[in-house]
Amino acid sequence: MGRQKELVNRCGEMLHIRYRLLRQALAECLGTLILVMFGCGSVAQVVLSRGTHGGFLTINLAFGFAVTLAILVAGQVSGAHLNPAVTFAMCFLAREPWIKLPIYTLAQTLGAFLGAGIVFGLYYDAIWGFANNELIVSGPNGTAGIFATYPSGHLDMVNGFFDQDRPALVVGTHRLSTPGFHRWRLRVPAHDWLPPGAAPTLHRGREREAGSREAQGTDLSGQQPSHCSLS
């Protein structure tokens, strides 16, 4: 047993990557691979079965599971950005150095293509046989939508832009306007179920303010805590 443990420790030391930025880039690559593999895999299952083996709900559940798993895998190492837009926002807000933007973007893009390649390989025969050995972008026999979104023929560029960016606007507005949940997490540390990487980034200033107020003997509501006296 002792030899096995020693061998495992030696292997771990040999395989350990000493460059932190490289570890973070590999974590982003792996996290994005997981996200695309599970997410697009669920879409392929629904599309290629023509809705008989899943539906809209299963796709959403699969993407939610994929994001959660990707955060758990990469969050401790890189923060699990999983998207160049997230990395750009973190750099713009001075949460991350700008040197990470091109490196993370390259790693995330590589991970996305690897994840899509795994899905394509797993469903290779089904994709080619879906439209009689043709690869079609849209229509009832289209398979390109498994891996990306494509505008319909009636959709112009302006509406297509807002159609893709509206969810991001809703999420961003929600994050900026609801600090209550994050303050609740400060009051109840045992309920901090969010893994590293999923933690909010836009309310750190409020958290620091709350921490300084607690250090001065006040709670988050601005009231002095009550003390019991035995005398």
- Write out the chain's pLDDT in tens, 231 residues: 577 777 777 776 766 667 888 889 999 999 999 999 999 999 999 988 888 888 889 999 999 999 999 999 998 888 889 989 889 988 988 888 999 999 999 999 999 999 999 999 999 988 888 877 777 777 778 888 888 877 777 777 777 777 666 665 665 565 555 555 455 444 444 444 445 544 444 344 444 545 555 555 544 444 444 444 444
For 45-100, the three-class secondary structure string (H helix, E strand, C coil) is HHHHCCCCCCCHHHHHHHHHHHHHHHHHHHHHHHCCCCCHHHHHHHHHCCCCCCCH
Whether 218 is in a domain gets the answer no
Residues 194 and 81 in one domain: no
Structure tokens at 218: 């006040």
Type of residue numbered 205: G
Q: Which domain holds residue 173?
A: 151-201
Prediction pTM value: 0.65
Residues 54 and 159 in one domain: no
Residues 137 and 51 in one domain: yes
Q: Measured at the alpha carbon of residue 145, what is the angle toward residues 155 and 167, in degrees to the nearest 5? A: 60
- The total number of residues shown for the chain amounts to 231
